């Protein structure tokens, strides 16, 4: 039985900036990796999510990968998961390269001991997004919902990645993200059902959708629809203000307990659906590591105990709730 005490909660390396391998020798990179990981350990974490905005894992040499593995061990950390972001496999210019990169990430995740790799369809930030204080206040790429070829390509390439992940003993998790084929609960569920592999499920990162500066799906509906398919979970929260009559919609990052999403209720929904996977705490802005640590403690001491123990399910996609009806 999975309990609040032993639930795997990992720190996203998102808050540690860019630690891509240095050009002046392996020693510089190893020192930076070791320092960052020791800092994460100092914040009370024993697990990390290897977010590839920190290090591009699919581009590491075997020697660099071994060095990173040693750094993790020296810091007293284990890799619970890997998140490869903004590597859309349907990008018309870079999709094939991204697919190859993600295959290499799967191999790297297996080598580093992770159990799940999270991928998505969100693309590189636009210039306008990079120039905003909060990038989500500007619209990025929008998938064409009426393009069956692009949809089929997404399903086929994710299926290919899912087969590789499954053969490597990993899960593949598809991250919810606005304006993509994973941008609504219904579309995300339809895509994972079409892929049809036990090793492929959803990462219901509903914070990605709740923060948008426009009307959004109710977080309760988002979590209810996606929880039965969840095999990994990014959690973050936002304070949100809406005044539809004035056309005002705004959101800023907040602690898990103080944002608009009720994570106590979400955890209960996820537990009822049988979710027992890795939870990754993320945060944008300010001291993201300390915020992540506070959010871990909130989950561990107040939210997960309320959700109750969950029977340890096999690490597969949860069954389709519509089956048998």
How many Å apart are CA 226 and CA 185, to the nearest integer?
6
Q: What is the pLDDT of residues 135-170, one digit of tens each?
A: 999 999 999 999 999 999 999 999 999 999 999 999
Mean pLDDT check: name the lowest of 21-30, 104-113, 204-213: 21-30
Q: What is the pLDDT of residues 159-203, one digit of tens each?
A: 999 999 999 999 999 999 999 999 999 999 999 999 999 999 999
Instruction: Please list, in sequence order, all residues whose beta carbon lies within 8 angstroms of the beta carbon of residue 295, skipping any fewer than 6 positions away.
Output: 235, 236, 255, 256, 257, 281, 283
Has residue 245 been placed in a domain?
no
Number of H helices, E strands in the chain: 11, 10
Domains: count for the chain: 1
- Torsion angle of C-alpha atoms 130, 136, 137, 141, degrees rounded to 10: 80
Has residue 177 been placed in a domain?
yes
How many Å apart are CA 299 and CA 261, to the nearest integer?
13
How many Å apart are CA 99 and CA 87, to the nearest integer?
8
Pairing of strands 248-254, 237-243: antiparallel
Q: What is the pLDDT of residues 218-239, one digit of tens each?
A: 999 999 999 999 999 999 999 9
Confidence (pLDDT) at 310: 80
Mean pLDDT within 46-51:
98
The pTM for the full model equals 0.94
Q: pLDDT confidence of 251, banded at 50, 70, 90?
A: very high
- SS in 3 state form for 186-211? HHHHHHHHHHCCCCEEEECCCHHHHC
Has residue 197 been placed in a domain?
yes
Q: What is the pLDDT of residues 2-39, one digit of tens each?
A: 889 999 999 999 999 999 997 665 678 999 999 999 99
- CA-to-CA dists, residue 143 to 17, 113, 147, 300, angstroms: 28, 33, 8, 37
**Of 160, 176, 158, the residue nearest 282 (C-alpha):** 176
> Across-strand partners of 310?
2
Pairing of strands 237-243, 233-235: unpaired
Asked if 71 contacts 63 with a C-beta cutoff of 8 angstroms, the reply is no
Q: Identify the domain containing residue 216 by its residue range.
A: 9-235+262-307
Element (H or E) spanning 233, and its range? Answer: strand 233-235
Confidence (pLDDT) at 70: 97
Has residue 252 been placed in a domain?
no
Q: Domain holding 24: CATH number?
A: 3.20.20.150
Has residue 325 been placed in a domain?
no
Query: Helix, strand, or coil here: 35?
Result: helix
Confidence (pLDDT) at 22: 76
Has residue 324 been placed in a domain?
no
Higher pLDDT, 279 or 319: 279
Has residue 257 been placed in a domain?
no
How many Å apart are CA 19 and CA 21, to the nearest integer?
6
Has residue 297 been placed in a domain?
yes
Q: What is the pLDDT of residues 303-314, one digit of tens each?
A: 999 888 886 543
């Amino acid at each position: 039985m999975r309990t609040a005490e032993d639930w795997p909660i990992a720190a996203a390396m998102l808050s540690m900036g860019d630690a891509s391998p240095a050009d002046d020798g392996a020693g510089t990179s190893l020192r930076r990796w070791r320092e960052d990981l020791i800092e994460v350990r100092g914040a009370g974490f024993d697990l990390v999510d290897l977010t590839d905005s920190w290090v591009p894992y699919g581009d590491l040499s075997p020697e660099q990968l071994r060095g990173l593995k040693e750094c993790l061990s020296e810091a007293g950390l284990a890799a619970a998961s890997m998140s490869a972001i903004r590597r859309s496999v349907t990008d018309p210019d870079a999709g094939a390269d991204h697919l190859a990169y993600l295959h290499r990430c799967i191999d790297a995740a297996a080598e580093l001991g992770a159990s799940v790799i999270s991928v998505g369809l969100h693309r590189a930030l636009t210039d306008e997004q990079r120039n905003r204080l909060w990038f989500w206040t500007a619209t990025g790429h929008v998938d064409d919902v009426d393009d069956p070829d692009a949809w089929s390509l997404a399903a086929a390439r994710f299926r290919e990645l899912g087969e590789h992940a499954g053969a490597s003993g990993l899960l593949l998790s598809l991250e919810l993200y606005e304006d993509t084929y994973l941008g609504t609960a219904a579309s995300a569920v339809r895509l994972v059902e079409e892929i049809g592999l036990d090793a492929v499920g959803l990462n219901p990162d509903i914070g990605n959708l709740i923060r948008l500066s426009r009307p959004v799906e109710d977080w309760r509906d988002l979590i209810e629809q996606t929880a039965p398919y969840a095999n990994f979970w990014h959690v973050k929260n936002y304070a949100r203000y809406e005044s539809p009559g004035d056309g005002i919609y705004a959101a800023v990052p907040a602690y898990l307990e103080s944002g608009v999403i009720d994570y106590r209720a979400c955890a209960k929904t996820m537990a009822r659906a049988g979710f027992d996977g890795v939870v990754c705490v993320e945060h944008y802005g300010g001291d993201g590591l300390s915020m992540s640590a506070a959010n871990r403690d909130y989950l561990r001491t107040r939210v997960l105990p309320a959700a109750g123990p969950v029977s340890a399910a096999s690490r597969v996609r949860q069954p389709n709730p519509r089956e048998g009806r």
